[in-house]
Amino acid sequence: MANLDHPIKKVMIICAKANIEDVYAALVMANGAVMEGIEAKVFFTFFGLDAITKKQMKKLHTATVGNPGMRMPGGLPFPTILGMIPGVEAGVSAMMKSQMEKLDIPPVDEFLELITAGGGEIYACKLAVEMFKLTKEDFSEHVKDIITIGQFYELAAGEGTQIIFT
């Protein structure tokens, strides 16, 4: 039975990478929190900004080079040299996305819509936004604001908050 004395009331999730698996880990955790009635705020920074950038959000990939968890269909090891061939990474990524679709895991833009519809909030990191020379207009309509890390900690204030870095 769950410990009901100290429930988690708020999760602050940070996503700093653009790999499918990192972005989806953040999105599933945020959406799962909202579904449980837990306040959720997601902070995208560095390459993670791709997930909320209109131009990039539909083109996320998983790495086929330097990814030891990668296997061929059937379970055999996936040779790194194969992953270097043009188009392989895109193919593998498309396959992952179709597998997720079967489990009713939505594409990134729709996932952001689900999270915000439930009251979750999406933020972009000011420092990374400046570094990549992006503006508010480059981001999905579901991005609430561009904020500093200081503001992020202010939003985290309160008892029962957890900060999660994916």
Return residues touching other proteins (CB under 8 A): 1, 28, 31-32, 34-37, 103-106, 110, 113-114, 117-119
Q: Shortest Cβ distance from residue 113 to other proteins (Å)? A: 7
Closer to other proteins by Cβ: residue 4 or 76: 4
Q: Shortest Cβ distance from residue 51 to other proteins (Å)? A: 16
Q: What does each C-alpha distance from 98 to 85, 112, 125, 139, 166 come to in angstroms?
A: 21, 18, 30, 24, 23
Number of H helices, E strands in the chain: 6, 5
Q: Shortest Cβ distance from residue 76 to other proteins (Å)? A: 28
Give the sheet arrangement for strand 121-125, strand by strand: 143-147, 121-125, 39-44, 10-15, 161-165
Closer to other proteins by Cβ: residue 3 or 135: 3
Q: Shortest Cβ distance from residue 34 to other proteins (Å)? A: 8
Closer to other proteins by Cβ: residue 26 or 34: 34
Closer to other proteins by Cβ: residue 39 or 50: 39
Round to whole Å and give the CA distance between 106 and 58: 11
